[in-house]
Amino acid sequence: MNKEALGTGLALITAIISGFAIPVNKIFLVGIDPAVFTAVRALMIGVIFFVLASCQVRFDYTKFKKVPWKYLLAIGIIGGGMAFLLYFTGLKFTTGGRAAFLHKTLPVYITILAFVFLKEKVTKRQSLALLVMLIGTFMLLSSRIDPAAFWKDPSFGDLLVLGATILWGVENVIARYAMIKEESNFVVAFSRMFFGSVFLFIAVAVLGKTDVLFSLSLEQTTNLLISTGILFGYVFSYYWSIKLINVSKASSILLLSPVISLLIGVLVLGEPAPLLQLLGSLVILIGAYFMIKVKSEFVTGV
């Protein structure tokens, strides 16, 4: 299998994982503080990727870093810390379906930033496919819903999720830069999760929620472990994919996942599904089909 096919396949796997992750994590967040939830997950996954990265270089840590630490720290603090904190806080206030589609505006920021800073070429077909998918996303978000017990303040939650998505756009481009410089995807993933967890544990301490960390019930701990496994699958497949194909293409393929999130939200969580949302899902699927057909045109430097 060539790099293009493998990278595209990994991006599709990531989209499927993401589609399940958002509504499932919304269920798991009930009764758990978002800062504690994200900090514990990030630390566990950071340790796993540290082990993988160590095995990859056969514990020769002189090969561990090929870009300055400032880039790896930025990936962790921005993408693994600040963005996750905003996102999961927002997820407590809005529906899983709305959060999923807001998150999938991510390709807009990534494509613009990758074009400006990484000199990635954006083809006409890619631009058209992205536009089609964004139209579908806009259709979904145009449907307003009333607050309820499980989505207390959709507008506020939407704002936090959007802020997190913009931060992830910045982090994705920095991560792709590190990989262009031949940094291992395992090292980048470790940096994202481990340094992000350090930021999040500091946030937990500053917010005075350290006691929550040591009072998790068995059910909450189980939910955390399941969510950690899902996130590991997402990070593993996504970072591998952007090592093989353009980050703008990989992130655009992720626009498939909100359709899965929408279905789970409706069937499991009882979330509303106006006709406009369903039509938007169909438009996104059409755009994603054309995006998958786009061939990445790589750059060797920045």
Residue 55 inside a domain? The answer is yes
What pLDDT shows up at residue 228? 92
| Residue 192, domain member (yes or no) | yes
pLDDT, mean over the chain: 85
Q: Are 93 and 148 in contact (CB under 8 A)?
A: no
Q: How far is CA 260 from the centre of its chain?
A: 15
Q: Is 4 exposed, middle or buried (0-12, 13-18, 19+ CB in 10 A)?
A: middle
Residue 298 forms part of a structural domain: no
Q: Quick one: how many helices (H) and strands (E) in the chain?
A: 14, 0
Q: Is residue 53 part of a domain?
A: yes
Orientation of helix 218-244 relative to helix 34-56, angle to 10°: 50
Flag whether 282 is in a domain.
yes
Residue 60 pLDDT > 80: no
Q: What is the mean pLDDT of residues 65-88?
A: 91
Digit-coded pLDDT (tens) for 184-225: 888 899 999 999 999 999 999 998 888 888 888 888 889 889
Q: Which residues of 110-134 are buried (b: 16+ CB within 10 A; e: fewer)?
A: bbebbeeebebebeeebeebbebbb
Pick the residue with more confidence: 27 or 52?
Answer: 52
- Tell me if 88 is assigned to some domain: yes
Number of domains in the chain: 1
- The residue written with tokens 């990758």 in the block is 114
Model confidence at 107, in pLDDT bands (50, 70, 90)?
confident
What token pair was written down for 108?
């807009």
143 within a domain of the structure (yes/no): yes
| Full residue range of the structural domain in which residue 171 is found | 3-292
Q: Which helix (H) or strand (E) holds 13?
A: helix 3-29
Is residue 294's pLDDT more than 80? no
94: which residues sit within 8 A by CB, 6+ positions away? 151, 153, 154, 156, 157, 158, 161
Q: Could you give the CA distance from residue 99 to residue 112 in angstroms, rounded to a whole number?
A: 22
Residue 299 in any domain: the answer is no
pLDDT in tens, 279-293: 887 887 788 778 777
| d(C-alpha 96, C-alpha 114), whole Å | 28
For residue 96, the model assigns a pLDDT of 81
Res 301 pLDDT > 50? no
- Per-residue pLDDT for 77 more than 60? yes
Range in 41-45, 121-125, 157-161 the model is least confident about: 121-125
> Over the stretch 231-263, which tens digit does the pLDDT of each residue have?
899 989 998 998 898 887 888 788 788 788 888
Q: What is the reported pLDDT for 297?
A: 61
